[in-house]
Amino acid sequence: MQVYKEFDLSEILWYKIGGITKYFIEATSEQDVKDAFDFIFQHNIKNYFIFGMGANLLFTDNYFDGAVIHITSSPIQDNTSDFMFGNQHTEITTSSQSDINVKGDCISAFAGITLDSVIQTGFSNNLMGLEWAGGLPSTIGAAIRGNVGAFGGEIKDVTKEANLLRIIDNSYNETQVPSSNLAFSYRSSVVKKDRSLIVLSATFQLKDGTNSEIEKAKLVYNNNIFYRKQHHPDPYTYPNTGSTFKNIKEKEDIDKILTVWPDIAHLVATKWYGKVSVGYINNRLGFSGYHIGEAQVSPLHTNFILNRGKATAADVEAIIRTIQKKYQETFGFMPEPEVEIVHS
Ligand SMILES: Cc1cc2nc3c(=O)[nH]c(=O)nc-3n(C[C@H](O)[C@H](O)[C@H](O)COP(=O)(O)OP(=O)(O)OC[C@H]3O[C@@H](n4cnc5c(N)ncnc54)[C@H](O)[C@@H]3O)c2cc1C
């Protein structure tokens, strides 16, 4: 475990947006996560937040007077580098290794391991079942919490169990929870509903494949990455958090849209499988390329908001509020953000 003080979160979060946190704790193993909470209890820190890659987070520009725990398998390499971290310094250092293990057709992984590492480990062991997640940026912990999904697959379909830490007052306990008790639903799980739960690790039951089946699974994986590259803005050029709003699936809201734009009824029925694409609506409402400061609605996909350089959380949030207001005026309801907005 490493603890940094006065750490600039924009250096590390996927969006390259975020203010200074009083403590920044890197946890690269299950033991590290427990040590991080011991540190929090010992220092009587009341305000804490955990993250994995930060691929779904818009973190406040304001000072975070607490601790941010980074559950990761990729720790900051050179923690004394002035170039990267100014005069911040490490206060505590213990070391431990991130874990990923294969047993039969099951892979167990520490929460900070990326979903992609699990997919690759599967392929190397002739195991498949996660190829739908090609190109989906996530750690295992966040993937379980949000029941990530894409191209018809969801993490719940291959999850066998998860090892959870429950934080109660100034202590914690650990439990092994079978998939059936994780209360998975669309982009949600018991971990999302209960902030006191932290994913320490998870086990996935994959499928043994023949060589030709594994080759096919790799093709699906690569095609999904290719699809994302073609249809989504490149997060490495201009950081973004994927879809800003959830697509609209409530019948009441869909009806409100169809009352104003009856011409898209056929798209709802055929192309969007009963939902309404927020990207389409945003585009038709004229938001393509719309910007505030250096935050911009992507012209390639109008449900993505890009950080074109030095965008702040306030800029991105202002765009979100502007779009919501336009929906309210046009249709009489507001779309719900998919990105998680974290205030201090
Ligand atoms: C380009 C792009 C494309 C995307 N495409 C998809 C997609 O197709 N499908 C999809 O479902 N999502 C998609 N997303 C969203 C994102 O990939 C997921 O939300 C992903 O799970 C985020 O993982 P993370 O490790 O970055 O989580 P973070 O953003 O770091 O955290 C997300 C939430 O999980 C919590 N969390 C993190 N680790 C743990 C843990 N160990 N225990 C408990 N809670 C934890 C955090 O507190 C936070 O509330 C996309 C994002 C981007 C940037």
* Residue nearest ligand 1's atom 34 by CA: 142
CA 193 to centroid of ligand 1, rounded, Å:
15
Tokens of 191: 């971990």
What residue has token string 């009856």? 262
Instruction: Note the pTM of the prediction, 2 decimals.
Output: 0.93
**CA separation for the pair 125, 209 (Å, rounded):** 9
Name the CATH code of domain 235-342 (choices 3.90.78.10, 3.40.50.11720, 3.30.420.110, 2.40.30.160): 3.90.78.10
CA 188 to centroid of ligand 1, rounded, Å:
11
pLDDT of 220 strictly over 70? yes
> Among 162, 174, 161, 138, which Cα is nearest to 57's?
138
* Percent of the chain whose predicted confidence (pLDDT) is above 90: 90
pLDDT at 93: 44
Q: Is the CB of 68 under 6 A from ligand 1?
A: no
**CA separation for the pair 128, 105 (Å, rounded):** 9
DSSP state of 246: P
| Upper half-sphere CA count for residue 315 (Cβ side, 13 Å) | 19
Backbone angles phi, psi at 81, to 5 degrees: -65, 120
* Percent of the chain whose predicted confidence (pLDDT) is above 70: 94
CA 211 to centroid of ligand 1, rounded, Å:
31
In this prediction, residue 273 has a pLDDT band, given cuts at 50, 70 and 90, of confident
Structure confidence by residue, pLDDT tens digits, 31-61: 999 999 999 999 999 999 999 999 999 999 9
Tokens of 255: 């009806």
DSSP string, 91-140: EEE------EEEETTEEEEETTSBHHHHHHHHHHTTEES-GGGTT---BH
**CA separation for the pair 248, 308 (Å, rounded):** 27
In this prediction, residue 344 has a pLDDT band, given cuts at 50, 70 and 90, of confident
pLDDT at 90: 43
Every domain range in the chain assigned CATH 3.30.465.10? 100-227
Every domain range in the chain assigned CATH 3.90.78.10? 235-342
**CA separation for the pair 150, 145 (Å, rounded):** 15
pLDDT of 297 strictly over 50? yes
pLDDT of 112 strictly over 60? yes
No. of helices (H) and no. of strands (E), the chain = 10, 19
* Averaged pLDDT for residues 97-125: 94
CATH 3.30.43.10 fits 2-93, yes or no: yes
In this prediction, residue 98 has a pLDDT band, given cuts at 50, 70 and 90, of low
Q: Is the CB of 191 under 6 A from ligand 1?
A: yes
pLDDT at 84: 32
Residue to probe by mutation, ligand 1, list 51, 192, 301, most atoms within 8 Å of CB: 51
CA 327 to centroid of ligand 1, rounded, Å:
26
Q: What is the architecture of the domain spanning 100-227? A: 2-Layer Sandwich (3.30)
CA 51 to centroid of ligand 1, rounded, Å:
8
Contacts of 42-48 spanning 24+ positions with Cβ under 8 A: 43/67, 47/344
Please provide the average confidence, as pLDDT, over all residues in the chain.
Answer: 93
DSSP string, 308-332: -SS--HHHHHHHHHHHHHHHHHHHS
Every domain range in the chain assigned CATH 3.30.43.10? 2-93
Q: Is the CB of 18 under 6 A from ligand 1?
A: no
Structure confidence by residue, pLDDT tens digits, 54-89: 999 999 999 999 999 999 999 886 443 332 333 344
Q: Is the CB of 220 under 6 A from ligand 1?
A: no
**CA separation for the pair 285, 276 (Å, rounded):** 14
CA 116 to centroid of ligand 1, rounded, Å:
13
pLDDT at 81: 36
Contact 91, 16 (CB under 8 A): no
Structure confidence by residue, pLDDT tens digits, 117-171: 999 999 999 999 999 999 999 999 999 999 999 998 999 999 999 999 999 989 9
pLDDT of 238 strictly over 60? yes
Q: Is the CB of 138 under 6 A from ligand 1?
A: yes
* Residue nearest ligand 1's atom 52 by CA: 242
CA 256 to centroid of ligand 1, rounded, Å:
30
* Residue nearest ligand 1's atom 48 by CA: 51
Q: Is the CB of 137 under 6 A from ligand 1?
A: yes
Q: Is the CB of 150 under 6 A from ligand 1?
A: yes
In this prediction, residue 305 has a pLDDT band, given cuts at 50, 70 and 90, of very high
Q: 204 - beta bridge partners?
A: 107, 159
Q: Minimum mean pLDDT among 42-51, 266-275, 318-327: which range?
A: 266-275
